[in-house]
Amino acid sequence: MKYNIKCKENQISIHAESVVLCEKLKRKRKHERKVMSSSEALLYRYAELLNECTIARLTGTRGADEIYTQQVMDSLPSVEYLPKSGKVIDVGSGGGLPGIVWALLRPDLNITLLDSVKKKCTAMREITASLGIMNAEVICARSEDFARNKREEFDLAGAKGLAVSGVCAELLSPLVKVSGKVLTFKGAKVKEEISEVQGKWLMLGLSRPTVKYYGGESRSIVIWEKVKKCPLKYPRNCGAAELKHFWE
């Protein structure tokens, strides 16, 4: 089944509608899903496609219901932090979380799904085609290499399950324009990860981070504002951000 949700007549109110949908889905339990809106049906179909994928292992969760509740719905809190318009990139997208969720709920945005694993990129292309997504492009490349050609072009760069906070900031900041945002999902160690950077975020052109908790203190979204241009020495060569932290 294919869906096409990029309808111009719906784009004016899509942001408000997506926020309402996010709140609605947070309250839904599996047995309450007898009647779904078109957006809910697309999100659930996405979970089914993740579960059915045989090209690559895209999630650590098995079963469409579990993927829907534990993975797809877990991406929803980030939707409210997306820009009002412009270009957004999901780095290390894997199976498209959270980027495909963003594309489905915000068809007015241009979404780039970036991953370095060819099998995962092939799977994402098949999934976006099956869902009729027209506002997302899958790119197979390392973020360090991609940032050299697309430097500071995006309004927001996000990641989920990519690396510790400081490494995420180094990889994402070169992609974001001044006044844009960097966003990453984090777990229970978020305070520890932020503390170890010792407040040196301005070295990347970023503000101090803001932590937005959801579902208790074990899950959060970390957001930085891009306050000035990122120095040209970033990004460093592939893998350098993890081998030698920028703040050390």
- Look up residue 166 and give its amino acid: G
φ, ψ (nearest 5 deg) of residue 41: -60, -40
CATH class of the 8-243 domain in this structure: alpha beta
For residue 13, the model assigns a pLDDT of 47
CA-nearest of 208, 201, 108 to 155 is 108
Q: Residue 85 corresponds to which amino acid? A: S
Angle at 113 between CA 112 and CA 118, to 5 degrees: 135
Which of the four pLDDT bands, split at 50, 70 and 90, describes residue 25?
low
Q: Is the dihedral of CA 87, 93, 97, 101 positive or negative?
A: positive
Can you give the pLDDT at residue 1?
Answer: 36
Considering 26-30, 51-55, 218-222, the range whose residues carry the highest mean pLDDT is: 218-222
Buried b (16+ CB within 10 A) or exposed e, 18-55: beebbeebeeeeeeeeeeeeebbebbbbbbbbbbebee
Torsion sign, CA atoms 102, 208, 196, 117: positive
pLDDT of res. 37: 74
pLDDT at 15 over 60: no
pTM reported for the whole predicted model? 0.87
pLDDT per position as a tens digit, 89-122: 999 999 999 999 999 999 999 999 999 999 999 9
The predicted structure's pLDDT at residue 21: 63
Residues 6+ apart with CB under 8 A from 8: none
Q: What is the pLDDT of residues 199-217, one digit of tens each?
A: 999 999 999 999 999 988 8
Quote the mean pLDDT of the chain.
Answer: 88
Q: Is the peptide bond before 107 cis (omega within 30 degrees of 0)?
A: no
Please name the residue that has the structure tokens 């891009």: 226
What 3 state SS string does 163-176 have?
Answer: CCHHHHHHHHHHHE
Asked if the model's pLDDT at residue 8 lies above 60, the reply is no
Domain ranges of the chain: 8-243
Q: What is the dihedral of CA 49, 55, 57, 59, to 10 degrees?
A: -20
Alpha carbons 120 and 109: distance in angstroms, whole number: 22
Residue of 248, 245, 199, 202 lying closest to 225 (CA atoms):
202
- Please, which pLDDT band fits residue 39 given cuts at 50, 70 and 90? confident
Q: For residue 215, what pLDDT is reported?
A: 82
